[in-house]
Amino acid sequence: MSITANAGDIDRRLLMDRSVAGRKAFTLPESDVPSQDLPDSSFLRDDVVLPEVSQLEVIRYFSVLSQLNFSIDTNFYPLGSCTMKYNPKINDELSNLPGLADIHPLQPDDTVQGAIRLLKNLQDDLGEITGLPGVSLAPLAGAQGEYAGLLIARAYHEAKNDSKRTVAIVPDSAHGTNPASAAMAGLDVVTVRSDDQGNVDVDNLRELANENTAVFMLTIPSTLGLFEPNILEITKIVHDAGGLVYADGANLNALLGLVKLVDLGVDICHSNLHKTFSTPHGGGGPGSGPVMVTDELAKFLPKPVAIQTEDGYALGTPEQSVGTINGFHGSFSIAARAFAYIKALGLEGLQSVSENAIISANYIQAKLRDKYNLAADRYCMHETVLSATKQKKRGVAGLDIAKRLLDFGIHAPTMYFPLIVDEALMVEPTESESKETLDHFIAVMRQIDDEIDASPELIHEAPHDLPVTRLDEATAARKPVLRWTADE
């Protein structure tokens, strides 16, 4: 048998398939206490197959897996609506300081004064940035922030004995989490249409807003990356009907230091610290979705909130709190990272974050608009939504373009969202990227458009050079294989 030399080869075997009976990754010292039988050993099983591998094999396996990943530390990542900005390493360093890292959530308040003060200062900063001074850092993700905000809206109406307000109005362009959070909070969801410019259809909203309206949920800027020109009229319609206005802060990266949500008529919002405030996403997370409200609504915030007392700082419970929405007080180390980010930039720095995010998105839009249709033909905010309908007519769908980008080392944009845009490709470059990176992306997008006529198979079969090429997503969804099974 001969072996073909190929240094680039990756060992694709799963850990389970590398298992050799009796091999192990640990060495236990000899026990210096007498052994004891378990009082109840019925939960011990010997029918579970586990991988038996050495420490080095485990390390190689996971190190190689980590190298196969696209991440913001390795690739341009213009995933719209996700704000994949650089996560400064100094934030990790600061959040790992012993005084912040080596403490426990159950420690008495007087032994962790610095940590609670940090939470209080972060609350104050988020209150200042949004103009909504009541802040709870408890929600662990954007959707949980939405859920907390909607519970607050319900509690507000119930406190006024206005129990018939059970409807959340949500635009047809909304993130799927909006109607899902509303349903989970016990509200009925009614959809308001968008007009042909991608704005909320104001006449439709006027028809829908009434004495049953609990809250109107609006993403600002919109999920199409657009400023809502009728925003003041919209929030007035909702308020006149007796409802509250909830702003989904997923796109807050466009507004820092430029617009305070309270000035637009917003009563409640959340912010994703893992988007706007540079803390890691997803597997690198966890997420964090603080909820911000007006002074009037602050008494309903989920507990705990950090407060300043005569003796220092403490974790308190707002008087009519909607309660606890998870254990403890949110993701502390994530809050510490966001705090470091805000303090490093200051107000001026934050303002230039949004300005540069907006300029970068508009630069891409301006350089691609002759090749790709736009969801709305006007200046965008921090992201631009392209519509690959011209490309689709020539035989290449948005999905194909997204896959082809991977060949050039660029993460795919968000595809097929918002749902109201055909063949949507949502591009959010963020403020972090250099002009050279933006120019490279623009050149690649233009080249892919040329390839549609010159060599369409290049696009249809993309990606070509990645460890995993084109996946059969339909079969994966129809007949998912969800667990490893031993070969018979």
Partner 1 sequence: MYPEELKYSKEHEWVRMNGNIAEVGVTVFAQESLGDVVFVDLPEEGSDVEQFAKFGEIESVKAVSDLFSPVGGKIVEVNSAATDAPEVVNEEPYGSGWLIKVELTDTAQLDELMDAATYQATLE
Q: Which residues bind partner 1 (CB under 8 A)?
A: 176, 399, 415-417, 419, 422, 473-474, 477-478
Cα distances from 151 to residues 146, 325, 396, 405, 445, in angstroms, run 9, 10, 44, 41, 43
* CA neighbor of 413 nearest in space, from 178, 461, 404: 404
DSSP H or E run through 136: strand 134-136
Task: Report the nearest approach of partner 1 to the CB of residue 392 (Å).
Answer: 10
Is the peptide bond preceding residue 221 cis, with omega within 30 degrees of 0? yes
**Torsion sign (Cα): 408, 456, 477, 375:** positive
* CA neighbor of 291 nearest in space, from 258, 259, 266, 314: 266
As a whole number of angstroms, the distance between CA 402 and CA 372 comes to: 13
* CA neighbor of 294 nearest in space, from 261, 327, 252: 261
Under the phi-then-psi rule, with left for phi > 0, alpha for psi from -120 to 50, and beta for the rest, what region is 395? left
**Nearer Cβ to partner 1, position 351 or 389?**
389
Parallel, antiparallel, or unpaired for β 291-293 and 268-270?
antiparallel
What is the total residue count of the chain?
Answer: 488
**Nearer Cβ to partner 1, position 189 or 307?**
189
Task: Report the nearest approach of partner 1 to the CB of residue 478 (Å).
Answer: 5
Task: Report the nearest approach of partner 1 to the CB of residue 47 (Å).
Answer: 32
Task: Report the nearest approach of partner 1 to the CB of residue 177 (Å).
Answer: 13
Burial of 63 (0-12, 13-18, 19+ CB in 10 A): exposed
DSSP H or E run through 148: helix 142-159
Task: Report the nearest approach of partner 1 to the CB of residue 285 (Å).
Answer: 25
Task: Report the nearest approach of partner 1 to the CB of residue 419 (Å).
Answer: 6
At residue 80's C-alpha, the angle toward residues 76 and 82, to 5°, is 85
Task: Report the nearest approach of partner 1 to the CB of residue 424 (Å).
Answer: 10
Contact indicator for 404, 413 with CB cutoff of 8 Å: no
**Nearer Cβ to partner 1, position 297 or 402?**
402
Task: Report the nearest approach of partner 1 to the CB of residue 169 (Å).
Answer: 17
How would you write 215-275 as a 3-class SS string? EEEEECCCCCCCCCCCHHHHHHHHHHCCCEEEEEHHHHHHCCCCCCHHHHCCCEEECCCCC
Task: Report the nearest approach of partner 1 to the CB of residue 95 (Å).
Answer: 37
**Nearer Cβ to partner 1, position 422 or 450?**
422
